[in-house]
Structure 1
Amino acid sequence: MTTMSVMSRRSTSGALVGVAAASVGVIYGYDSSNIGAALNFIAQDFGLGDGGKQALATVVVIGEILGAIAAGWVANRIGRKWSMVAVAATYCLFALLSALAPSNAALLGARLLLGVTIGLSVVIVPVFVAESAAPHRRGAMLVAYQVATIVGIIAGYVVGYFLAGASAWRWMLGLAALPALFVTLLVLRMPDTPRWYVTRGRFDEARNALAGIDPQADVDLEIAEMRAALGEASGGRLSEMLRRPWLRATVFVVGLGFLIQITGINAVVYYSPKLFEDMGFSGDFGTLMMPAFVQIAGLAAVIISLFTVDRMGRRPILLGGIAAMVVATIMLIMTYGPLHGNGTAAHLLGFGGLVLFTMGFSFGFGALVWVYAGEAFPARLRSYGSSMMLTSDLVANAIIAAFTLSLINLIGGAGTFAIFGAFALVGFVFVYLLAPETRGRKLEDIQHFWQNGGQWPADDPIITSVGDPR
């Protein structure tokens, strides 16, 4: 085989990883927004009030929690690749069942099962990407998953807008089966990750997979480092994460996962039509396309994060994004409070606040959740750590989905965003105190931060060269 053909094969392998992850991200994002676009039409057909609407938004998150809890075991048991195949294929099935549901009870059941597949995906995809990407591209590839997620959110609103005239909520839900089918066929062509092969003692397959990822890699050295990292302690057990040195890492990922969602981003995604209606916007354009414009701004922010995460580092991006969210909540408190959502000033301030809130989230929390989910733990614990982080994230998401409309009815938009702003402040302090800077490091080296009590060792070469205290 010529050098050119080898390089082409490796380039194709890396591209397939990115395309597969992005396609799953589109599915996840589309489901988050299309239910918001479809809710009013479903409510009309099935006679639902705000409680019924919240149930349809919440039941999928409950399924996601169940999927995320099981994802670590599944990913370790059958591998990252076959887990992704199972996720995509079953999502396709349950999306079609949702579209064909004859009653609200049937729709709730289909969406619960749909949520299980999404819960599996949000844990497994970051692990799959982190273990299939070269160190100098890992951050960007993980952020690309969030780019795709926002593209999916935008697509959900746009599809909702064009189908709204026919009240075609079944088509809104069912169209999600198409990208899921594409992912199923794509991932079937791919190998599993080198690190999973190493955990199973399948070293020849690990070498072949690694050779297809990084043209610059010293394959034998990389395999030796993976084996050494796995051999440093007996492991792969959940109990390891609850004692030193991994307890600190567990506290970090669980806390970060919860704060990412409890700050309210999915209140904006699920209930944007309601938020814009309360600001005086009306019609399908005002309540469905305006949320799409908000998400386009979020897409721009995450693209900036994509191109800077491996240059600026994780911490500056994360802290900057949270700070923007705090400012945005102040704008939204003014919109729904003193301005009462009425008039041109309220419209401009409210729209600007939702844009800034979404951009801040997408730039920081939204992009970095996938990075830290894939980086925080060594290979034997990575799927468990990712599962715990995303489970925490989804528990907070369930709270947001279940209570946002009730909270707005009880204390108004100003009070609701004041609560979100308070959690954002807590998140800023939490990240500042606990988040490690993992830019440019091999996955096997990141464990030294936790083993050293939350500090990089004094003889760390990156610390020595740049003086980064985190």
Structure 2
Amino acid sequence: MGLAKDLKGASRLGVLVAISAATVGVIYGYDSSNIGGALLYLKETYHLSEAKAGLVASIVVFGEIAGALVGGRLADRFGRKPVMVGVAATFALFSLMSALAWDIPSLMVARFLLGLTIGVSVVVVPVFVAESAATAIRGALLVLYQVATVTGIILGYVIAMILAQVIGGATDAGAGDTWRWLLGLAAIPGVLVTLLLLRLPDTARWYVMHGRRAEAERVMTQIDPNADVVRELDDLEAEFRSGASLTLTQGLRKMFTGKYLRASIFVIGLGFFVQITGINAVVYYGPQIFEAMGVESDIAKLGLSALVQVFGLLAVFGSMAIVDRAGRRPILLTGIGVMIAANVLLIVTFLNGTEKGDTVTLGGSLTVLAFIGLVLFVAGFTLGFGALVWVYAGESFPSDLRSLGSSAMLTSDLVANVIVGLVTLQMLKAWGGSGTFMFFGAMAVLAFLFIAKLAPETKGRPLDDVRHYWENGGSWPVESAPSTGTATGPTVVAGRPDQD
């Protein structure tokens, strides 16, 4: 309700940016879950071991790491919009390549290239949205990206379930090409978002960075017709003249020395904990987790995996509704706390199951408890980590470090994602569900302590005001207070000159 009301008062450009980001999020989410359904068929068709299946699922993340490493620099050099257009178009192309793969090696090449373009997108989208949104709804629009991502995850499972019903399960004759449909259908939203992005301008900050003031003025006026555009442009130009055009070496030096070291530790640690706490173990391998619980039907495995994500979607709607009112820190810490409780419930449930080979038969109330545990796990993640990682990725650094800082956060996130993708199936086989969720629970406890120590509260702060928190050693200057303005202009802290 709050976001809908704010969007009614938002500019047409702001709404189009939100829709574009949401569509990219759907693509990202669909690709995260469709491999879970495809593996049911790939394992049967190509007789994949757990290690090989984990590599097929995770190879996309190796590409994402490479894309995240260069995404920020590409966005700074060529523009946020052109890079996003390239991302959407190549996503459609590489999805088709995945569907047409003739063996596992060719599929892995296509998925690596797909990951490359996704890696760029997860860096550029938060920057594009943060630089194109008014302060009052910036957090909610960044959370909207997570809403779209979870929606894409659900679509991946639902489409897999429909195909399983129409064509047949993994062991049914004639179902061998089901995985091709699952992977290839991702090309459709890729084409749609390409067409949508072509209609958008770049951000005012990028135009100022490249000396194109007239275009920056036009974009600022479109975002907020009531803004003092001349003053805000003067402020941005002064900021960039003071050192915004940094080389990669200069940017890294600025991030990891002096006043921004704490910010760098925070965003890199946050990115790592987002994934090492295990969310993609549930997204990638949801059907396999339900199989380990004794569920036999492919349709049931996929349907239950989708249902778990529906509850996660409800949680992220809650986060989106309150993020610009309740604040970032309370929501993030609450979400991690729910994940810790979920891990405890899952550990107890699996410990009380009956072991049968590589599976644990739960049955009755234990099955219900395990399902509730997975629901709480995903809901806690989407309420906290899932929603807020995009907010902090777009807010944590000043303009000259924003793209590079976003790249660092998402690279860390993806490194942890590789670890989870490669070891989850092997942990399930070696340690069972109880041992696997003990590991993820321990990571969640460490994440809670890390966030409680380092995360700033950025609610109501203009985008370029956040820098003062880090410059002041991890606390807000006493003169600084939250305000309600647009995201396009920095707020000058009384009695404290801007610093670079």
TM-score band w.r.t. shorter chain: over 0.9
Using the TM superposition, give the Cα deviation of residue 411 of structure 1 relative to its aligned residue in structure 2, in angstroms.
1.1
**What residue is the counterpart of 2:234 in the other structure?**
224
- Structure 1 position 262 matched with structure 2 position 282: no
Using the TM superposition, give the Cα deviation of residue 235 of structure 1 relative to its aligned residue in structure 2, in angstroms.
4.8
**What residue is the counterpart of 2:74 in the other structure?**
74
Match of 1:296 among 310, 319, 322: 310
* Aligned-partner Cα distance in 1 for 2:482–2:25: 32
Using the TM superposition, give the Cα deviation of residue 10 of structure 1 relative to its aligned residue in structure 2, in angstroms.
7.0
* Aligned-partner Cα distance in 1 for 2:399–2:221: 19
Using the TM superposition, give the Cα deviation of residue 462 of structure 1 relative to its aligned residue in structure 2, in angstroms.
3.4
AA matched with 1:459: E
- Structure 1 position 101 matched with structure 2 position 101: yes
Using the TM superposition, give the Cα deviation of residue 108 of structure 1 relative to its aligned residue in structure 2, in angstroms.
0.4
**What residue is the counterpart of 1:379 in the other structure?**
399
AA matched with 1:189: R
- Structure 1 position 277 matched with structure 2 position 317: no
Match of 2:343 among 329, 352, 364: 329
Aligned partners of 1:92 and 1:180 also within 8 Å:
yes
**What residue is the counterpart of 1:393 in the other structure?**
413
**What residue is the counterpart of 1:3 in the other structure?**
none
* Aligned-partner Cα distance in 2 for 1:226–1:283: 58
Aligned partners of 1:225 and 1:444 also within 8 Å:
no
- Structure 1 position 457 matched with structure 2 position 482: no
**234 and 275 in structure 1: CA distance in 2 versus 1, 3 angstrom threshold:** closer
**What residue is the counterpart of 2:220 in the other structure?**
210
Mind listing any 5+ residue stretches in structure 1 that lack a counterpart? 1-6, 464-470
**96 and 230 in structure 1: CA distance in 2 versus 1, 3 angstrom threshold:** same
* Aligned-partner Cα distance in 2 for 1:27–1:88: 9
Aligned length: 457
AA matched with 2:89: A
Aligned partners of 1:26 and 1:148 also within 8 Å:
yes
**What residue is the counterpart of 1:33 in the other structure?**
33
Aligned partners of 1:157 and 1:289 also within 8 Å:
yes
- Structure 1 position 418 matched with structure 2 position 449: no
**321 and 10 in structure 1: CA distance in 2 versus 1, 3 angstrom threshold:** closer
Aligned partners of 1:150 and 1:298 also within 8 Å:
yes
Secondary structure in structure 1 of the residue aligned to 2:466: helix
AA matched with 2:271: G
**What residue is the counterpart of 1:4 in the other structure?**
none
Q: Deviations over 1:301-355 (max 9, x none)?
A: 0000001000000000000000000000001001111234412121111000000
Q: Deviations over 1:275-325 (max 9, x none)?
A: 111222221332001010000000000000001000000000000000000
Using the TM superposition, give the Cα deviation of residue 9 of structure 1 relative to its aligned residue in structure 2, in angstroms.
12
- Structure 1 position 338 matched with structure 2 position 352: yes
Aligned partners of 1:134 and 1:213 also within 8 Å:
yes
Match of 1:359 among 361, 368, 379: 379
Give me the CA root mean square deviation: 1.6
Mind listing any 5+ residue stretches in structure 2 that lack a counterpart? 1-6, 168-174, 355-360, 484-500
- State the identity %: 54
**What residue is the counterpart of 1:314 in the other structure?**
328
**What residue is the counterpart of 1:45 in the other structure?**
45
Secondary structure in structure 1 of the residue aligned to 2:258: coil
**What residue is the counterpart of 1:199 in the other structure?**
209
Secondary structure in structure 1 of the residue aligned to 2:325: coil
Match of 2:427 among 407, 421, 435: 407
AA matched with 2:445: L
* Aligned-partner Cα distance in 2 for 1:215–1:138: 17
Q: Which moved more, 1:9-18 or 1:195-204?
A: 9-18
Using the TM superposition, give the Cα deviation of residue 234 of structure 1 relative to its aligned residue in structure 2, in angstroms.
5.5
AA matched with 1:18: A
AA matched with 2:322: T
Using the TM superposition, give the Cα deviation of residue 15 of structure 1 relative to its aligned residue in structure 2, in angstroms.
1.2
Structure 1 length as normaliser, TM-score? 0.95
* Aligned-partner Cα distance in 1 for 2:67–2:318: 31
Q: Which moved more, 1:233-242 or 1:290-299?
A: 233-242
